[in-house]
Amino acid sequence: MKDIEGIWREIDEKGAVQFLQKLLQTRSANPPGEEIEAAKLVADWMRRWGLEAEVIPIQGRRANALGRLPGKGKKPPLLFSGHLDTVPPGEAPWKYDPYSGKIVGDRIYGRGASDMKGGLVAMIAAAGALAKAKVPLAGDLLIGATADEEAGTLGARHLVESGQINKVSGVLIGEPSDLSVYIAEKGAFWLEVTTRGKTAHGAMPDLGINAILQMNKVLTRLSRLRFEYKRHPLLGKPTLNIGTISGGVKTNVVPDGCKITVDIRTVPGQNHRTILRSVEDLLGELRKKDATLQGEVKIISDLPALETLPQDPLVKAALKASEAVTGQAHKPQGVMYYTDGVAFVPKLKIPMVICGPGKAGLAHQPDEYVEIPKVHAAARIYVQIAMEMLGN
Ligand SMILES: [Zn+2]
């Protein structure tokens, strides 16, 4: 392998900070999710650092950017992936303008600094260093900068459907991990449960069927729902949260409808269809006791749990690189949130590793920042992973 420290020295650290600051100043909050300007900026910097780059429009003002550092075609390509969108700044006041990219000491502030513009910039800087060092790679290094990770993974799915990444051997996602290596993520199975009743005047409730009271029975049973699962070594057990409830129109009317949404986070090995059936069975059992209980269940999101085996070469490469750069040995871990991996992994049947400079605890919070030295460290980690996977 070419002297890794020699390639690290080619990382344009000053440029990376400038680029990150510009990217933080370029709004890409989702909703509404207008990533086109961020995609253009990313493609510009990819070209500036010696990569091939294109902006791929999706619809309206939504777009991905795809970068490529060509290899010799002897090995399948490797995909680095990061999303362009951020969550909105939120209602709580910020110390600094969320779109300022303000630098204070070692930190750079802004919406998306941790989640995950910092990681995306580090990936592109790493590829730029490999380009500048003229390292011969056995396979292409691809960088997919995607739209809409925060809402529906539209960009990642578009990238898969375009066929441009269908030969990749694995994906490295730069989501916030504080430079640790995550190899498993929980699934997200979201349901909407509705109960239906019959309206009547609030002074004569006996003439109606109260959908809120019916929902009360559902809630009691649902909160005690037992899952079939095997405890996962990295992700633990599945969880269930009842996130919203709505129903009724007026105080003096018997409500004829009530709706809840349920957020179930699953572990690998659980079957989402089985969970759906158990919720439907629960409604069926209640109906047996009370024929007036009418209700239905609808799926609103269905994202699978993912895991990569610890012995996978991509995992080993990431652990080795992270240790070499941070000086700390890491054990692979799991994360509770989902990533663009849900669009890549089941379709492409590839291993996935998450490693990024941000801190997950800062994501979606006011005063989000990323530590600049960690962005540079991430770039070094990514250089080493690319060399392990694509070097000769
Ligand atoms: Zn993210």
Tens digits of residue pLDDT in 9-53: 999 999 999 999 999 999 999 999 899 999 999 999 999 999 999
Ligand 1 centre to CA of 267 (Å) is 20
Ligand 1 centre to CA of 342 (Å) is 13
pTM: 0.91
Ligand 1 centre to CA of 296 (Å) is 32
For residue range 215-240, list pLDDT tens digits in order: 999 999 999 999 999 999 999 999 99
Residues of the chain with pLDDT under 50: none
Ligand 1 centre to CA of 116 (Å) is 5
Burial 106-144 (b: 16+ CB within 10 A, else e): ebbbbbbbbbbbbbbbbbbbbbbbbbebebebbbbbbbb
For residue range 104-118, list pLDDT tens digits in order: 999 999 999 999 999
How far, in Å, CA of 333 to CA of 319, rounded?
Answer: 11
Helices (H), 84-222: 118-132, 154-161, 211-222
Ligand 1 centre to CA of 150 (Å) is 7
The pLDDT, as a whole number, for residue 2 is: 56
Taking ligand 1, which is a single-atom ion, which protein residues have CB atoms under 5 Å away? 115-116, 175
Ligand 1 centre to CA of 57 (Å) is 21
